[in-house]
Amino acid sequence: MTVTPAQSEHLAKSLQRETNAEVYFGPYERALYSSDASMYQIVPLGVVVPRSVADVVRTVQLTAEAGVPLIPRGAGTSLSGQSIGAGVILDFSKYLNRIVEIDRERMTARVEPGVVLDHLNAAAAKHGLQFGPDVATSSRANLGGMIGNNSAGSRSVLHGKTVDHVIALDAVLADGTQETFAPLAPEQLAREQGRHDMVGHLYREIPRIVAENREEILARFPAVLRRVSGYNLDRFVPECLARIAEPANVERVRAREAARYPGGTFNLSRLIVGAEGTLATVTGALVHLLPVAAHRSMLVLEFDDLADAVAAVAPTLALRPSAIELFDGMIVRMARRSLEYRNYLDFVQGDPETLLLVEFSGETADGVSRQLRRLEDQLRGHHGLRHQLVTHDRAVCDHIWACRKAALPLLMGIPGERKPIAFVEDTAVDPARLSDFVARFRDILARAGTHGAFYGHASVGCLHIRPLIDTKSADDLARMRQILDEVSDLVLEFRGAMSGEHGDGLARSFLNEKLFGPQIYRAFCEVKGAFDPANRLNPGKVVHGPDPAANLRQAPGHRPLAPATTFDFSAQGGFAQAAELCNGSGLCRKTRTGTMCPSFMATGDEEHSTRGRANALRLVLSGVLPPAELTGARLHQTFDLCLQCKGCKAECPSNVDVAKLKSEFLSQYHAERGAPLSVRMMGRVATLNRLGSALAPLSNWIGGAPFSGWLAEKLLGIDRRRPLPRFERQDFRSWFRVRGTTSQSSVEAPRGKIVLFDDCLNNYCEPGVLRAAVDVLVAAGYDVQLAGIRCCGRPLISKGLLTEARALAAHNVERLHGWVAQNVPIVGCEPSCVSALVDDYVDLLPGNERAAQLAAKTEFIDAHLVRARAIPPLVGVSQQVLLHGHCHQKALVGVADTRRALEALPEAEVSVVDSGCCGMAGSFGYEHYDLSMKIGGRVLFPAVEAHGGVVVAPGFSCRHQIEHGTGRRAQHPIELLAAHLKQDR
């Protein structure tokens, strides 16, 4: 229906008045919810973020009265467009995300729909349990979305699909009725059928529909484990289930459920699972849990050709592995380009065309090892097999699985206009026929003039095959339709499923009549009509699907704005294309591990995720939002809470660099509106520090005076609760000049010269760090020289003062080139400053060979000491060392070398806290105090407070945040090494 502005405003006011939910009907917030991880985009009428089930019920009722569609949404990671639509979006992820109960004895969990799978598994693991389906998006996938999609995952050959593990569902029906759907015995079903309400109607209608179509259900539903297209009518026909070899764990949960619900043979929740929110709105679930396998090991098989790898699946299946994942060479090559995932690829030898990742699990290590050896022996000499790797190491297995889970977003980072898009990526056939199916599929792609990426769940015949298509090209859209027609014909021929995991959505719903035949499709429509007679619940999914080429995010004629930029975005294809790298997979919504995205981890708001910021910019550049927003206050508000931690640059598999996008946006914003005094002052922190040091101790007295907090807040935007750094009267450079030359001969400095980057933070505020660096470098045999540049430009870059930053970068490159030309290494102690030279200069000075050479020659000091094997002799004491890594360091090289340097301390036990960002991030913690402290309090502060030993942090801001948040002083790693130098060297 068409909703007038007056009707929309009335609905918004009603929702605000009659619920406690967050309600957003403004154009900006609506646009942020217009896309998911699919190729589609539809701007919704509004967004509701419910705080309670009561909010959900009232929202369903009010939208029903208004005749407005309702679209449930969790993390928004749908690959087929299920979580977008033209109605009101219900976002369950922020508040309705509790684990209500875990029953260890019954091995069940009660959850709200916004619970993230990894969070549930972490809680269940304390009882030795897990939720069986293990999707690749587990770090952000909501259970409600998994239920709506009937998700499965890599171990479905062992665990089955979500429908196999759902016992009961709490749901709100289209008319606002609340009901719990659970297993019913025949006599219970008869009682429910006597009800004179919508629930009674459903219990009468669904058995009728099944009975009238029983023979056609048997004839048309494919006998494959991984079928999620259409509605689950086959779940009510026992003969359908009997045709499919059930995984062992599914048989176990069915037996457990039968004992709990004697005779409970009819369960309408089985129909709601996989219905994509088109039948009811789920508000809670009771699910089975499974024991965690005691032992897991992997065999990685490398092949020269995809066909050879696929041919190995059938003999491998005979040994009953817990997973067989196919991983093609395109993904391996993209992983090697990723700052994060290239570190995980030690298990890959050379450049294979295809990998098979085979996992065995069991209760004994010996049993698992025997299975692996049997498979090794069985496949030895298999055609095209070039290398085998066996690993029992949990860390190596985790790295392998991390690469597999990142397959999709890694692929979406492929350069060029054609992208591997999802529209036929989800077919499933009998694994015994997979070789023939893949060969025929490749022929279809070749005839269409393209090729594709192949990965996925080979164990169950469900491969994610993504043809490379440019949706902006009319010719490629014609290719897409050709491929859809021919692949759907192929699926029918092989008696398979068009969707084995990702569902119908906007991409495949239109095919269901062709795939299931007119009679079953009419039955689907009757099911939809029984639950949702007004067609309001997520319309256009499963039945009455739209043209799959409609509602595209990037369609023919797509021409985004291309403003002139200071940063170079040519590697991404331009400024707009840098934002468009975000494919919506939502890895930035993870909250348990890593750095990306610290503000989202604290707020849970979509706008504060990497995806939210990239989408906001993309929507402005593409014209969905007004072009004036490119320098608008609303877009500034979105970017304002980005800490520029660079976590996304590494952890986002598509390499969406929001720190860089923010700096460029701020540059455009300041050019239009002028830079405020606070921005200009904070951008010149080197000058402030130099003056503060020159005026010490007076400057320190002023900084601690009662009026200083008020003054700093008014002039610089610094929160009065945040203590200012203290300045040292004798800065490091003055000390170095007094000390004089550190060595006089090549005998005293056998390693030759090294340049120490004397950054303006440590130089004026913590010169002890740089003095310690000199001591360690001299002890290592170096003749220490100083870089002597006035500032690296990091504050200017962060504040978007890019014209000035570029001029400073050019000056610094020339100043340091003499050392670079002499092949003298340059090392720094402050990660944010080192990252400016290593990462930002090359984009500020495109084509400048000297900038690239400087970047290649500059290292973090501890990394250099480790790689050059230059750590001097150390004296140790038995102590525990807690390491918090700086965000820029983690993004660019990781903290492994820092850990190795600290482990050179005899008897030191070093642990790295997975604390993400400290929350300070340069000036951010001064300007956004509450959020900064919330970020620090998430993991870092508790870890420091619980640690009894030494705390080390390479970052200047990190050390100050730790001291302010915990009262504990953190050292720079180089200070700890210097304190333990052997004095008799």
Residue 744 has pLDDT above 70, yes or no: no
Contact 273, 147 (CB under 8 A): yes
Coil, helix or strand at residue 589? helix
Average predicted confidence (pLDDT) for the chain: 94
* % the chain with pLDDT above 90: 88
Cis check: omega of the bond before 240, within 30 degrees of 0? no
In the block, residue with structure tokens 């209608």: 205
pLDDT of 597: 95
Instruction: Report the C-alpha dihedral over residues 537, 541, 545, 547, rounded to 10 degrees.
Output: 120
How confident is residue 747, by pLDDT bands cut at 50, 70 and 90?
Answer: low
Q: Which residue has the higher pLDDT, 180 or 241?
A: 180
State mean pLDDT over 284-313: 95
The DSSP secondary-structure symbol of 470 reads: -
Q: What is the DSSP string of 913-932?
A: ------S-TTTHHHH-HHHH
Q: For residues 724 and 715, what is the distance between their CA atoms, to the nearest angstrom?
A: 14
Residue 741 has pLDDT above 60, yes or no: no
Q: For residues 292 and 288, what is the distance between their CA atoms, to the nearest angstrom?
A: 13
Q: What is the pLDDT of residues 147-181, one digit of tens each?
A: 999 999 999 999 999 999 999 999 999 999 999 99
In the block, residue with structure tokens 């304002």: 640
State mean pLDDT over 606-618: 97
Q: For residues 606 and 333, what is the distance between their CA atoms, to the nearest angstrom?
A: 31
State mean pLDDT over 605-632: 96
Burial of 519 (0-12, 13-18, 19+ CB in 10 A): middle
Hey, how many other C-beta atoms are within 10 angstroms of the C-beta on 317? Answer: 19
Largest CA distance in the chain: 99
Coil, helix or strand at residue 367? helix
pLDDT of 745: 47
pLDDT of 740: 61
How confident is residue 410, by pLDDT bands cut at 50, 70 and 90?
Answer: confident
The pTM of the whole model exceeds 0.75: yes
pLDDT of 703: 86
List CB contacts of 87: < 8 A, sequence separation 6 or more.
44, 45, 63, 68, 69, 70, 71, 536, 539
Identify the weakest region by mean pLDDT among 243-247, 670-674, 729-733, 767-771: 243-247
Residue 876 has pLDDT above 90, yes or no: no
Number of Cα atoms under 13 Å in the Cβ half of residue 514: 18
State mean pLDDT over 270-285: 98
List CB contacts of 861: < 8 A, sequence separation 6 or more.
756, 773, 776, 777, 827, 828, 829, 974
Q: For residues 354 and 438, what is the distance between their CA atoms, to the nearest angstrom?
A: 13
pLDDT of 1: 65
- CA 178: distance to chain centroid? 34
666: part of which helix (H) or strand (E)? Answer: helix 658-673
Identify the weakest region by mean pLDDT among 316-325, 365-374, 405-414, 533-542: 405-414
In degrees and rounded to multiples of 5, residue 523 shows phi and psi of -65, -40
Structure tokens, 723: 């203590």
In degrees and rounded to multiples of 5, residue 749 shows phi and psi of -130, 70
pLDDT of 712: 85
The DSSP secondary-structure symbol of 571 reads: G
Q: What is the pLDDT of residues 52-87, one digit of tens each?
A: 999 999 999 999 999 999 999 999 999 999 999 999
Contact 106, 60 (CB under 8 A): no
Residue 430 has pLDDT above 80, yes or no: yes
- CA 281: distance to chain centroid? 26
Identify the weakest region by mean pLDDT among 89-103, 394-408, 631-645, 881-895: 394-408
pLDDT of 415: 78
Which of 571-575, 746-750, 796-800 has the highest mean predicted lDDT (pLDDT)?
A: 796-800
Residue 339 has pLDDT above 80, yes or no: no
Number of Cα atoms under 13 Å in the Cβ half of residue 371: 26
Q: For residues 498 and 137, what is the distance between their CA atoms, to the nearest angstrom?
A: 21
In the block, residue with structure tokens 């849990």: 289
Q: For residues 606 and 970, what is the distance between their CA atoms, to the nearest angstrom?
A: 33
The DSSP secondary-structure symbol of 292 reads: P
Residue 547 has pLDDT above 60, yes or no: yes
Q: Identity (one letter) of the amino acid at 795?
A: P
Residue 417 has pLDDT above 90, yes or no: no
State mean pLDDT over 365-375: 94
State mean pLDDT over 788-805: 97
Q: For residues 52 and 794, what is the distance between their CA atoms, to the nearest angstrom?
A: 44
Coil, helix or strand at residue 103? strand
Q: Is the dihedral of CA 549, 551, 553, 559 positive or negative?
A: positive
pLDDT of 204: 98
Q: For residues 294 and 292, what is the distance between their CA atoms, to the nearest angstrom?
A: 6
State mean pLDDT over 308-322: 95
Residue 486 has pLDDT above 80, yes or no: yes
Number of Cα atoms under 13 Å in the Cβ half of residue 78: 33
Hey, how many other C-beta atoms are within 10 angstroms of the C-beta on 968? Answer: 15
Q: Which residue has the higher pLDDT, 245 or 243?
A: 243
Residue 408 has pLDDT above 80, yes or no: no
State mean pLDDT over 424-447: 96
- Report the candidate in 591, 590, 571, 595 with the shortest Cα–Cα distance to residue 581: 571
State mean pLDDT over 229-240: 96
Contact 804, 772 (CB under 8 A): no
Give the helix ranges, DSSP H, for 348-500: 365-379, 394-405, 407-412, 434-447, 474-493
pLDDT of 743: 46
State mean pLDDT over 960-966: 97
Residue 654 to residues 400, 572, 648, 662, Cα–Cα distance (Å) = 18, 11, 9, 17
